[in-house]
Amino acid sequence: MFELDKPFPRLYRSILDSIADGVYTVDLNWRVTSFNKAAERITGISNEEAIGRKCFEVLRSSMCEDQCTLKQVMEDRKTVPNRPIYIIRADQKQIPINMTTGILRNAENRIIGGVMSFRDLSDINTLHKELQKQHTFEDIISKNKQMQKIFAILPQIAQSRSTVLIEGESGTGKELVARAIHNSSFQAKGPFVAVNCSALPDNLFESELFGYKVGAFTDAKKDKPGRFDQAHKGTILLDEIGDISLAVQAKLLRVLEQKVYEPLGSVEPVRTNARVIAATHHNLYQMVQNGNFREDLYYRINIVRLVLPPLRNRKEDIPSLIDHFIERFNVLNGKEILGVSQEALALLMLYDWQGNVRELENAIEHAFVMCREKLIRREHLPERFLPLDKKIKDPPSRVLKDIEKEAITQALERNQWNKSKTARELGIHKNTLRRKIIRFNVS
């Protein structure tokens, strides 16, 4: 137990345990000296496990490696309040928290360590998603009409047990859709196992999917469960199913038809109850016509088919996606970037996005590395966005900017300039509203 109040350790512990926020203290060697009940609840780590360990081993936050706030507090001798970060819980789940750090002194006013209090923001983030649910499903964001139709039927698809085929270019979010289906299904409490079929050669495919028994081949020293076994009572995503060979397709067809498989080296069939979702960037129907994909397997996985549009066909989503990524990277990097400049937005809107949403996310992450200002500008984007022989026109959103500014001003006036109420009315996070107020100079 921490030595600040030697005569009253029980009283000190009782006070800490009565606080709703997580609180822990560290000594000058970064070792945890106290860990209250709320900290145990939020992190999933017991007091006994935490005491004596390095703080970065316990919290594993997004800022531990190179932006440690406790270190900053020790060096600057001042409190760092309300900093949003992510931590990794004991069950490996990443959760958002809001933390405040400060100096810990003894009765002689000598610095003996640091103290950190933190609050779980998971419920607030959940509420944020609820407020924006008209444009989102799980972590998928879109105002596009085709995507909105998909959002509308995803709950029904999730509640069924049918096999789903998701088609779309690389980077369009096929795995996100698969996870959303799993998270809303009857088997949401079970595991979600994603298998990249294109990365598995034929000679390993069967053992990876179905596992093997000891002695099945020379190096099989012990039993190894396959991916179907790992997905027991959950969902297995067969990503890039269009890349598997005809021979492997035949083996997979049997599993889908009979719900059983045999691990290598075993003669006993194993029954699977894992729900199967398949995904591919290929046009499977065309592959069937060309003889490259089995027709019977195609109709077995094509019970429910979803086709995700590429980002270049849903460019109305780019501003919302940019805001989403900026919000997330602000939390992960401890920054307060407000948005992108008009010229940068023009480049992003005009770009063809062959890599789709994944490429956009990578471009914004690159900009976060390069940007030392409050606004992402043209020079912060990757080099492919910096054409030397083209004059960038003002984006169509210059008119939209005026409309958006007017809409925000009117909403603020309707709500007597209450930013929380205004954000709820507009269906955006209050931090996003704050950035837009600053960016548009709303007053």
CATH number for the domain spanning 209: value is 3.40.50.300
Query: Residue 419 above 80 pLDDT?
Result: yes
Query: Residue 274 above 80 pLDDT?
Result: yes
Query: Residue 101 above 50 pLDDT?
Result: yes
pLDDT of residue 1: 39
Interval 29-84: pLDDT, tens: 889 988 899 899 888 899 888 899 888 888 877 566 556 777 777 777 777 777 77
- Residue 134: inside a domain: no
**432 Cβ contact list (under 8 Å, min separation 6):** 323, 327, 423
Interval 186-211: pLDDT, tens: 989 999 999 999 888 887 888 888 88
SS3 165: strand
Question: Which CATH number do you get for residue 401?
Answer: 1.10.8.60
Query: Residue 389 above 60 pLDDT?
Result: no
401 vs 310, more confident: 310
pLDDT of residue 137: 66
Under the banding of pLDDT at 50, 70 and 90, the label for residue 157 is very high
Under the banding of pLDDT at 50, 70 and 90, the label for residue 222 is confident
Query: Residue 271 above 70 pLDDT?
Result: yes
- Residue 378: inside a domain: yes
Taking CA 389 as the corner, what is the angle to CA 383 and CA 394, rounded to the nearest 5 degrees? 85
The total number of structural domains in the chain stands at 3
Q: What share of the chain is helix, strand, coil (3-state, %, to 5)?
A: 45, 20, 35
Q: Are 148 and 142 in contact (CB under 8 A)?
A: yes
Give yes or no: residues 274 and 223 share one domain: yes
Give yes or no: residues 55 and 160 share one domain: no
Give yes or no: residues 111 and 88 share one domain: yes
pLDDT of residue 94: 76
SS3 155: helix
105 vs 220, more confident: 105
| Range of lowest pLDDT (7-21, 55-69, 118-132, 374-388) | 118-132
Backbone angles phi, psi at 428, to 5 degrees: -130, 165
Give yes or no: residues 297 and 348 share one domain: no
- Is beta strand 235-239 parallel, antiparallel or unpaired with respect to 260-261? unpaired
Among residues 27, 86, 16, the alpha carbon closest in space to that of 54 is found at: 27
- Residue 428: inside a domain: yes
Among residues 321, 405, 426, the alpha carbon closest in space to that of 365 is found at: 321
Report the C-alpha gap between 318 and 374 in whole angstroms.
20
- Residue 231: inside a domain: yes
Section 311-325 average pLDDT: 91
Section 276-302 average pLDDT: 95
Section 255-262 average pLDDT: 87
Give yes or no: residues 300 and 178 share one domain: yes
Section 306-325 average pLDDT: 92
Q: Of 250, 280, 308, which one is at a domain's C-terminal end?
A: 308
Give yes or no: residues 327 and 433 share one domain: yes
Report the C-alpha gap between 83 and 118 in whole angstroms.
9
Mean pLDDT, the chain, whole residue set = 82
Report the C-alpha gap between 356 and 79 in whole angstroms.
42
- Residue 137: inside a domain: no
**Strand order, beta sheet including 275-280:** 192-196, 235-239, 275-280, 164-167, 304-307
Q: Residue 204 belongs to what H/E stretch?
A: helix 202-210
Section 240-244 average pLDDT: 93
For 206-263, give the secondary structure using H, E and C.
Answer: HHHHHCECCCCCCCCCCCECCHHHHCCCCEEEEECHHHCCHHHHHHHHHHHHHCEECC
Under the banding of pLDDT at 50, 70 and 90, the label for residue 397 is very low
Under the banding of pLDDT at 50, 70 and 90, the label for residue 403 is low
Give yes or no: residues 291 and 324 share one domain: no
Query: Residue 129 above 60 pLDDT?
Result: no
Query: Residue 399 above 50 pLDDT?
Result: no
Query: Residue 405 above 80 pLDDT?
Result: no
Give yes or no: residues 281 and 321 share one domain: no
For residue 358, what are the domain limits? 313-440
Give yes or no: residues 239 and 265 share one domain: yes
Among residues 84, 107, 110, the alpha carbon closest in space to that of 28 is found at: 110
435 vs 359, more confident: 359
Section 240-249 average pLDDT: 91
pLDDT of residue 398: 44
pTM, entire model: 0.59
pLDDT of residue 386: 72
- 5-14, 64-73, 355-364: which has the highest mean pLDDT? 355-364
Question: Which CATH number do you get for residue 15?
Answer: 3.30.450.20
